[in-house]
Structure 1
Amino acid sequence: MLGLQFDKYSDFGFLIKVDKCQLNHSSFYKRKLSKTSFKKTKLQEVDFTECDLSSSAFDDCDLQNVIFKNTNLQNADFRSSSNFTIDPENNQIKGAKFTLETVLGLLTKYNIKIEPNF
């Protein structure tokens, strides 16, 4: 499924569980998606602007070019996902979970180079 506009649907009774899907180019603008589980899913170029994704889990997801802007990501889990960029200054990330490898997605805007120790 590509380019779905989930922001057009009523909030009443809206619930989504995503497992092994491809939702590239979709929009979840201003959706309340707290505690949502995204598993083994391609979410490339998805718009999560102003969403509530608190306590959501992104398990083995490809988040290339996803838009996180004014998004509530508190306690969200990004430990096994890849290719994301999140601006800590424009999103709520308190308690979000990352690994050492994935935390680099928080530093992209600073255009710094991080190299391994030898």
Structure 2
Amino acid sequence: MSTLKTAFRDVKFKDCKMLGVPFDDCNGIGLFFSFENCLLNLSSFYKTKIRKTSFRNCQLQETDFAQCDLTDSEFDNCDLLSATFDHTILEKADFRTSYNYSIDPEMNRIKKAKFSVRGISGLLDKYDLTIDSYP
């Protein structure tokens, strides 16, 4: 039995509230979208190939990016509290202005990804360290 899947090709979501959306059920052929000022909490991108995706000013709390290919993607001023990154390809992804993320460099591919100094603790969470900044 064939299942029809929603296709998103060059779609720009702006000012949208989309809680718990299973984007991983989308048709992967030509899948390309961007998000600006969107609420995407509890959504799933599990195993999707969404290279060069732009997330700007988005709330992505508890969103599943496990086994996703996010090469060259941009997370600009995004809240990634409790988002899942597990065996995710994040090569050349930009997290410099985002916050609350927890990404294990040993469990994800992060070569040439961009992070800010203030967000570096999100790469060290598993070590349960206390990181202070002193003047």
TM-score in same-fold range (> 0.5): yes
More contact order relative to length (CA 8 Å, sep ≥ 6): 1
Quote the RMSD (CA, aligned, Å): 0.8
* Aligned partner of residue 90 in structure 1, secondary structure: coil
* Aligned partner of residue 16 in structure 1, secondary structure: strand
**Offset at residue 115 of structure 1 (A):** 1.7
> Per-residue displacement from partner, 1:57-96 (whole Å, max 9, x unpaired)?
0000000000000000001000000000000010000101
Runs of 4+ with deviation above 2 angstroms: none
- Structure 1 equivalent of residue 3 of structure 2: none
- Structure 2 equivalent of residue 65 of structure 1: 82
Structure 2 residue identity aligned to 1:108 = D
- Structure 2 equivalent of residue 83 of structure 1: 100
Q: After superposition, where does 1:1-118 map in structure 2 within 5 Å?
A: 1-117=18-134
Which residues of structure 2 form unaligned runs of 5+? 1-17
Which residues of structure 1 form unaligned runs of 5+? none
Separation (CA, whole Å) in 2 of partners of 1:55 and 1:38:
12
Structure 2 residue identity aligned to 1:94 = K
Structure 1 or 2: more strand by fraction: 2
* Aligned partner of residue 101 in structure 1, secondary structure: helix
Paired positions, count: 118
Point out the structure with max Rg over C-alpha. Answer: 2
Instruction: Provide the identity percentage.
Output: 49
> Per-residue displacement from partner, 1:26-85 (whole Å, max 9, x unpaired)?
000111111110000000000000000011000000000000000000010000000000
